[in-house]
Structure 1
Amino acid sequence: MKKLDSVNKKKIRNWAIFIVVILVIVGVAYFMAFRPETPGRYDDFAKCLTNNNVTMYGAWWCPHCKDQKELFGKSWQYVNYVECSTPDGNAQLPVCEKAGIEGYPTWELGNGSRIDRVLTLKYLSGLTDCTLP
């Protein structure tokens, strides 16, 4: 009888541990999926650039474009961006050919002027009426 009680206690303990682990996993997954999204530091700045017709032309494979995007962090989603590269990276898309884009990244300002290099956010702010936080 003692041996049977010991086996039952082990089974109950193992099931309890299993249930606790499952609850922890479900809880973590729930909070990861439904946690409130915190705004990016430069959200208002990026939205202001877009509202002022500032556009960046770039290519997915371009390391300088990646550097430029990283300066904005999560706020990059609000920047008006035009992808110029074909998926295979071997050609330029017609929209960029027609626009005369020759290098990446190329920033086009609201007045039509262009600058083809990575720009600091402070420099972009100075070119536009958009203020940094």
Structure 2
Amino acid sequence: MSKKTILLAVSLIVIISGVLLFKPQVSGFISLGHDYTLDNFTECLAENNAIMYGAYWCPHCTTQKEMFGDSLSGVLYIECDSKGKNAKPELCRQNNVQSYPTWIISGTKYSGVQSLQDLSDITGCSLE
């Protein structure tokens, strides 16, 4: 092997080692991969019958959904617009949902985007 090839190989090893050893550590519940903490959180929300009512075209609903990332499938969601997927507008009417998103938790309505911390405080579900 030539000196250039050896130098290039050593340089690559040093760079890769540096990236692996000194990569930033992510804290909280935001991560580069799937977040199992949010899976546990959404499971707890479901166990506490926390239900989000919304509409597929609603930008605030999109914002709320994005907070859950890959764990969104664990959120109990009711689509209120009859044109939406798996729509249940009758449930929205029965619960007098008039704005989106609306959360109904233990019989109490919470209108607008709710922070994960607010949902945690309301339900007692841990974000840890």
User: Runs of 5+ in structure 1 lacking a partner?
Assistant: 1-36
- Once the two structures are TM-superposed, the CA of residue 52 in structure 1 deviates from its matched residue by 0.6
Matches of 2:39 and 2:65, distance apart in 1: 13
Does the 8 Å CA contact 1:58/1:105 hold for their aligned counterparts?
yes
Does the 8 Å CA contact 2:34/2:70 hold for their aligned counterparts?
no
Does the 8 Å CA contact 1:107/1:115 hold for their aligned counterparts?
yes
- Once the two structures are TM-superposed, the CA of residue 132 in structure 1 deviates from its matched residue by 0.1
- Once the two structures are TM-superposed, the CA of residue 39 in structure 1 deviates from its matched residue by 5.2
Moved over 4 A (4+): 37-41
Q: Decide which structure has the larger Cα Rg and report it.
A: 1
Matches of 2:122 and 2:79, distance apart in 1: 22
Query: Larger % of helix: which?
Result: 1
**Secondary structure at the residue paired with 1:126?**
helix
Question: Is residue 2:50 matched to residue 1:54?
Answer: yes
Instruction: Name the structure 1 match of 2:100.
Output: 104
Matches of 1:38 and 1:64, distance apart in 2: 23
Matches of 1:38 and 1:120, distance apart in 2: 20
Alignment TM-score, normalising by the size of structure 1: 0.65
Q: 1:61 and 1:97, CA in 2 relative to 1: closer, same or farther beyond 3 A?
A: same
Instruction: Name the structure 2 match of 1:65.
Output: 61
**Aligned sequence identity (%):** 41
Alignment TM-score, normalising by the size of structure 2: 0.67
CA root-mean-square deviation: 1.8
**Secondary structure at the residue paired with 1:56?**
strand
For residue 121 of structure 2, the aligned residue among 121, 126, 129 is 126
